[in-house]
Structure 1
């Protein structure tokens, strides 16, 4: 009788334990948003900005991941995990994944990077994020910072913005062509700018819908009539974004460009910045400028992201204009100097003399109105806007941040990237792999069976 009672109790207890596990599983499955993030850098914890953005999202969004055999599997896993976290927070988000090798037709529908591309689609609106833009090199070898959450949340915010700003890139003076600045153009279009090219010789005027005029890397001067048109445009609500190019005769030939800058108290010193500090990573003509205190550069300073300039022209603002206060945002170290003998520079003979400009040199200014409204961004260089340079360090962020400041964008997302350590790969031999396989599939299960059988047998005997 006692054995029967003990057996019944055991069965009831077992059923109760099984029932508790079933109920607990159903409960946990019904609370999908409930999770405890035990990872060191809280990689599964979304910021308050992201949570608020997802809560306000009221339209269907399709997240399309496009990868290939060139996609790093470790990078892909982090992006996939981020996408899953967004899906948990809002049921309007769905995701689809495509392999560009197996489905090459998908590559023709989107501007893809074989290393990995994330596309957001909502109706007819598309936003593109490249995997390479989500990962920033860290301090140590192989270390990195993952800024995927900031990029993805910003893209979702931009999906809700229906108004597009029309911006024009001036051409006709050997500027950097738009087809060499695809990454910048894609980034601007992703932030709801409509980008177009403008040749004043053909059009005769700056269109009425132009919110910003870009002059990027001109190597020849603008004409007198073009200068008049631009000056008239700037007298109203027009805004200017100019990055100076390189011309060995710029001191003699850039009369109208110099006059355009002089309206705001900025002077082109016709000197090329030379960095005398020795480095194995770059030559003396490549400048890693220091940042001035400004909203454009604040996030770059916080994240320790550097900007790179090449063949940068030194500019100054020694005679400020009262109606247009300026602020320096990029400057060299004190060790740098401005080479004024361009012929000597082109012959690779750069020796500092009394005619050169002493450092530190200013390489970038922002101009405001007396009402403290953005008016212009003036940079001493433009080479870092080209695709293969823009993707390095903080170049792309600087380019987009400066345009955002000029356009007074109030919905910019700022989320600190998560630090990540170098990916550790364990290398094992074939025999070690077989040992792990046999141990996990056979030895450990067999050990539990033996222990369990022994306990059962001893209780049965007792």
Structure 2
């Protein structure tokens, strides 16, 4: 009788536990917004900016992940988990995953990176994010990483709501760097709702009325008198200037018109190339890692420890400031640097030695110009090679290029979400023998041991 009662109690207790588990499972499944993030870095906790953006979505968003076998599995997991968190918080987002190789028709619609591509789309509007743009070097662990995916994805959602594209014209006709060689920067600008066009003043005869910013990137020849007059007229109104100089051994002779455009803001081209003997960027003293000033353009880069690398950068100075348009330096070399003025010898030999004719450091490599009422007017940089596809992916080059245009255009919808420290991932190398031992132990031996122990306990109770 006692055995029957004990058996009945055990059965009832088991059924009760199973019933409680089922009810609890149904409750938790129905409470979709109930979530407790117990991860070390709160990787599943979204920022207030993201929650606000998701809460105000008024149109359907499709997010597509395109990966290949070359995609880092850790990156894929981080990005996928992030998108799933967005999807949980709004019914406006759908998420689809594709293998770009197995689905060529889908991949053909988008510019797919083998490292992984995330496409954010609503109607005819589309923003493309590369996986590797979401991952930054860790500040706390040299073997770790920081994940900036939330900032990138939320910014893409914000940009989808922008109806009007800003006009950005790139000057040509002076051997500037062609837009075809700055494809990654151009794509980034277009994703940020800029309309990018090329402008040849000799052909077009004027700067279009809808132009907001004129970009002059890496010119190797001076402007003509007529072009200089058109540009000065444009800048005397609401027009803004983005000037990134390039190296040319003939620039040691004064470029009257280009120098005249800069002098309107009190900035002077010193016609010298910055040399940094003690830096090791790309193992070349001609490659400079400038120090940031803490300006709005560089503040986030400085906070995230992202460096900008400039090669063959021209030194600048503003020793005769314009009170109407004050210029502020934002990029500077160390005191050990100097400006090589013998450009022809530097070009011929590829090396330099400091002498009395050179410009002493520290050197300025970039300025921002504002009006009296603190409105952005110009960005003048001593280098332009960091903008080409070959170098723009290095460290903070792309972010600096986009940030400087964003500051010039007074973008007020910039999303700022601090990157989250990623897991400290390490790879264990396991031999075939070790792998077989792990398999036998975890899949066969340990389960069998628990079965034997349980069976023994059951047998003893049955006998007793």
TM class by smaller structure: over 0.9
**Partners of 1:281 and 1:201 in 2: CA distance:** 38
**Partners of 2:255 and 2:173 in 1: CA distance:** 15
**Partners of 2:3 and 2:142 in 1: CA distance:** 67
Matched, 1:452 2:457: no
**Partners of 1:130 and 1:82 in 2: CA distance:** 14
Query: How far 1:7 sits from its partner (Å)?
Result: 2.8
Write the deviation string for residues 227-269 of structure 1: whole angstroms up to 9, x where unpaired. Answer: 1111111111101101011111113252110000000110111
Query: How far 1:173 sits from its partner (Å)?
Result: 0.8
Q: Does the 8 Å CA contact 1:220/1:253 hold for their aligned counterparts?
A: no
Specify which of 413, 424, 427 is matched with residue 425 of structure 1: 427
Matched, 1:367 2:369: yes
Cα RMSD for the two superposed structures: 1.6
Question: SS at 1:66's partner residue?
Answer: strand
Question: SS at 2:136's partner residue?
Answer: strand
The corresponding residue for 2:135 is 135
Question: SS at 1:18's partner residue?
Answer: helix
**Partners of 1:348 and 1:394 in 2: CA distance:** 26
**Partners of 1:246 and 1:379 in 2: CA distance:** 12
The corresponding residue for 2:319 is 318
The corresponding residue for 1:403 is 405
Paired positions, count: 462
Mapping 1:295-334, distance limit 5 Å: 295-334=296-335
TM-score, with structure 1 as normaliser: 0.96
Q: Does the 8 Å CA contact 2:217/2:384 hold for their aligned counterparts?
A: yes
Matched, 1:9 2:9: yes
Write the deviation string for residues 430-456 of structure 1: whole angstroms up to 9, x where unpaired. Answer: 222222222232222222222222222
The corresponding residue for 2:356 is 354
**Partners of 1:230 and 1:37 in 2: CA distance:** 55
Matched, 1:414 2:416: yes
Query: How far 1:378 sits from its partner (Å)?
Result: 0.5
> Unmatched 5+ residue regions in structure 2?
none
Question: SS at 1:195's partner residue?
Answer: strand
Q: Does the 8 Å CA contact 1:64/1:98 hold for their aligned counterparts?
A: yes
Matched, 1:106 2:136: no
The corresponding residue for 1:442 is 444
Q: Does the 8 Å CA contact 2:279/2:288 hold for their aligned counterparts?
A: no
List, as ranges, runs of 4+ consecutive aligned residues in structure 1 with deviation greater than 4 Å: none
Question: SS at 2:103's partner residue?
Answer: coil
Write the deviation string for residues 70-116 of structure 1: whole angstroms up to 9, x where unpaired. Answer: 21112211111111111112222111112122122333211121111
**Partners of 1:57 and 1:426 in 2: CA distance:** 43
Q: Which has the larger displacement, 358-367 or 446-455?
A: 446-455
Query: How far 1:175 sits from its partner (Å)?
Result: 0.7
The corresponding residue for 1:337 is 338
Mapping 1:63-462, distance limit 5 Å: 63-138=63-138, 141-252=142-253, 254-279=255-280, 281-346=282-347, 347-420=349-422, 423-462=425-464
The corresponding residue for 2:38 is 38
Question: SS at 2:391's partner residue?
Answer: helix
Question: SS at 1:180's partner residue?
Answer: helix
**Cα 1:349–1:12 shift into 2, 3 Å:** closer
Matched, 1:52 2:52: yes
**Partners of 1:421 and 1:415 in 2: CA distance:** 18
**Partners of 1:54 and 1:70 in 2: CA distance:** 31
**Partners of 2:4 and 2:138 in 1: CA distance:** 67
Q: Does the 8 Å CA contact 1:142/1:421 hold for their aligned counterparts?
A: no
Query: How far 1:422 sits from its partner (Å)?
Result: 5.3
Q: Does the 8 Å CA contact 2:281/2:309 hold for their aligned counterparts?
A: no
Q: Which has the larger displacement, 359-368 or 141-150?
A: 141-150
Question: SS at 1:390's partner residue?
Answer: coil
Query: How far 1:179 sits from its partner (Å)?
Result: 1.0
TM-score, with structure 2 as normaliser: 0.96
Q: Does the 8 Å CA contact 1:369/1:375 hold for their aligned counterparts?
A: yes
Query: How far 1:58 sits from its partner (Å)?
Result: 2.2
Question: SS at 1:14's partner residue?
Answer: helix
Write the deviation string for residues 403-432 of structure 1: whole angstroms up to 9, x where unpaired. Answer: 111111111111111223553111212222
Write the deviation string for residues 132-162 of structure 1: whole angstroms up to 9, x where unpaired. Answer: 2111233665432221111111111111111
**Partners of 1:264 and 1:62 in 2: CA distance:** 46
**Partners of 2:7 and 2:108 in 1: CA distance:** 68
